[in-house]
A and B are shown apart, each in its own frame.
Chain A
Amino acid sequence: MKTLRPKTLASWCALALLFSASSAHAHILSGETGGFESGFLHPWSGWDHIIAMVAVGIWGAQIGRPAIWLLPVVFPMVMAFGGFLGLLGVPMPGGEHSVEIGIALSGILLGLMVLGDVHPNRLAAWLFSRDEPATAARKGKNLGYTLAVVMVGFFGLCHGYAHGSELPPGESGLYYSIGFVIATGTLHACGISLGLIHRWPAGQVLLRLCGVGIALGGVYFMWDALHPEPTEKAAPKAAAMQPKPPGSAGPTVASLSSEEGNNIPFGGVYSVVWPPISYSSPVNMFQLFTQGQKPPVSVPRDFARPVPVTVPAPLGLTYYRPDNQEIPVFFHDGVLRAGDESWVVFPQLDGSPKLRPN
């Protein structure tokens, strides 16, 4: 077995040290580090993304060359394009809901492809079964790989669009993008590595079982996409029940952060700490809310779509609504938006509300 010559090894080590040189810097820019870490961890943030990317690798390994590398090449590029569209806010046909359905569909179809060990060129050749066998095989091969690439590309677009979420403030878009793409490729590589057991009969069975799991995961996410959480539907309904008080102002609250001034990490349960206010009545009733109660607020893990965060209504606002009726609080695009303009009154706050970890 050939081994690296000492000179060659030394040259590569020197190159590695050159690129990792750090002694020249007076400080570390946490933005770049945090950006790479955030980007690398983001594709791992949801099982719907993980199973689809792994499934692409497995299916490519099952099909063999050139799909084993063609599909993992196409998916990140098209996914990046989807992320590009999501970042720019380009509306998708059917809205974000259609993207969620597309993501769930990717799990189902890719799982079925893995389960059935489907070779797209054979499937396409069946479409040309009336032709001569050699002609049918040739046409099927060309069309088959194209169909596979188109299918994987469509799913990549949906996944990328969903990933086009808010970059955490203070972090580098470049490093985030690099980390994100590397993580995606790593997932594909995991799938390809797993798919290489296809060469053994037992491995083929195991892969089909993986396909079952992937497809079932897709079904679960499809159910979740078709049946959103009930609080999202209840909020507008509750808002419609109350008449708009005269002179009510918009409830927008901006610049949400923790008491220490740090960014809010994903997940977790917090108490809302409202700042002091400087109005007269009906502020007195509102002061009961700010001073008497600090209801818990659950910050959603995924900021890709607005998710209502409910806050129990405080005692004292009986003028507007019954006691303890929940006020929907939406955390979206880095801004905490409380309630609905038609029935929630928030007088001007002297500062921004903060979240204190429970």
Chain B
Amino acid sequence: MHKSPRHLLAALAAGAILLIAPATAEAHLVTTGLGPVYDGVGHFCTSLEDVVPAVALALLAGLRGPGSGRKALFALPVAWVLGGLIGLSLTPAPELSRPVLSGIVAATFMIPGVLIAADLNLPPLVIGLLAGLLGMVHGYLDALGMLAEGATPGNGALEFVGVGAVLFVLVALFSSLVISLRPAWTRIVFRVAGSWISAAGLLWLGWALKGRG
């Protein structure tokens, strides 16, 4: 069934709002007042360094078809939560310098971004493994950040429940959007977006290595 490109425009508008309203972006603990699960949702949604790689992975999965989308739909949230739980269980939590942290996260921008731009014909298993790896890395780093900010392992685990839920929704929405759009030019739009994501990641990597990221 053909979907109108208006869906793409609506998605782009949502993404633009996300990017144009960065003033409230917050990489620290978020308190919504609604409990740790919603705190986790808020934490994820206001961390661009988490949202962008997840969106990129979802776009990549969508470009590769429904099979890859289904793999990513479960692999990414589950791996993210697992990585977070592993990170929360480590005592004392390992300390990573900011350049190293930024460099690792920048790499999670670049890898999916380049794969989107190149539009390589990757099998669904590879997409699933990539989603799992990305999820584990980000979940682990998120957990380290939570512990550094004083979160307890119990609350942190509940926050990751919220993170997993929003990831599931995000991957479902973005990958299904990509799959549903038929016009050829829409595929080009996503490939351009992938190049932008990888370019931003590469620049950020440079800042991180310079010690200013």
Contacts and interface: CB of A to CB of B under 8 A. Distances in A.
Chains A and B are bound partners: yes
A346 interface: no
A240 interface: no
Interface in A1-54: 2-4, 8-9, 12, 15-16, 18-26, 28-30, 32-33, 36
Nearest to A21: B45
Nearest to A1: B4
A286 interface: no
Contacts of B207: 87, 167, 173-174, 176-177
Contacts of B191: 69, 73
B96 interface: no
Interface in A75-102: 76-77, 79-81, 83-88
B25 A173 contact: no
Contact of B17 (A16, A30, A32, A88): A16
Contact of B6 (A4, A32, A84, A86): A4
A173 B102 CA distance: 9
A83 B10 contact: no
Specify the main secondary structure of chain B where it touches its partner. Answer: helix
Nearest to A156: B199
Given A73-B191, A173-B204, A24 B46 contact: yes
Interface residues of B, number: 54
Interface stretch (B26-34, B76-84, B143-151): B26-34
Nearest to B118: A73
A25 B26 contact: yes
B86 interface: no
Contacts of A174: 48-49, 102, 200, 204, 207, 213
A21 B30 CA distance: 11
B199 A79 contact: yes
Greatest chain A CB density within 10 A among B30, B46, B117 is at B46
A175 B48 contact: yes
B14 A24 contact: no
Contact of A12 (B10, B46, B166, B196): B10
A4 B10 contact: yes
B25 A29 contact: yes
Interface in A157-174: 164, 167, 173-174
A153 B213 CA distance: 25
B11 A181 contact: no
B6 A25 contact: no
A23 B32 CA distance: 8
Contacts of B4: 2-4
A121 B7 CA distance: 36
Contacts of B49: 174
B203 interface: yes
Given A173-B207, A181-B200, A8 B7 contact: yes
A163 to B, nearest CB: 9
B199 A77 contact: yes
A180 interface: yes
A73 B32 contact: no
Interface in A116-152: none
Given A16-B14, A19-B45, A175 B192 contact: no
By DSSP majority rule, is chain A's interface helix, strand, loop, or mixed? helix
A40 to B, nearest CB: 10
A72 interface: yes
Contacts of B42: 21, 24
B145 to A, nearest CB: 14
A307 interface: no
A25 B24 contact: yes
Interface string B193-207: 001101111111111
Contacts of B209: 87-88
A53 to B, nearest CB: 13
A3 B196 contact: no
A84 B192 contact: no
Contacts of B10: 4, 8-9, 12
Contact of B26 (A18, A29, A77, A175): A29
B195 A87 contact: no
Contact of A32 (B23, B31, B166): B23
Contacts of B46: 21, 24-25
A177 B195 contact: no
Given A15-B14, A15-B173, A73-B117, A185 B192 contact: yes
B154 interface: no
Interface of A: 2-4, 8-9, 12, 15-16, 18-26, 28-30, 32-33, 36, 69, 72-74, 76-77, 79-81, 83-88, 164, 167, 173-178, 180-182, 184-185
6 contacts: A16-B18, A20-B21, A24-B26, A87-B207, A173-B212, A185-B196
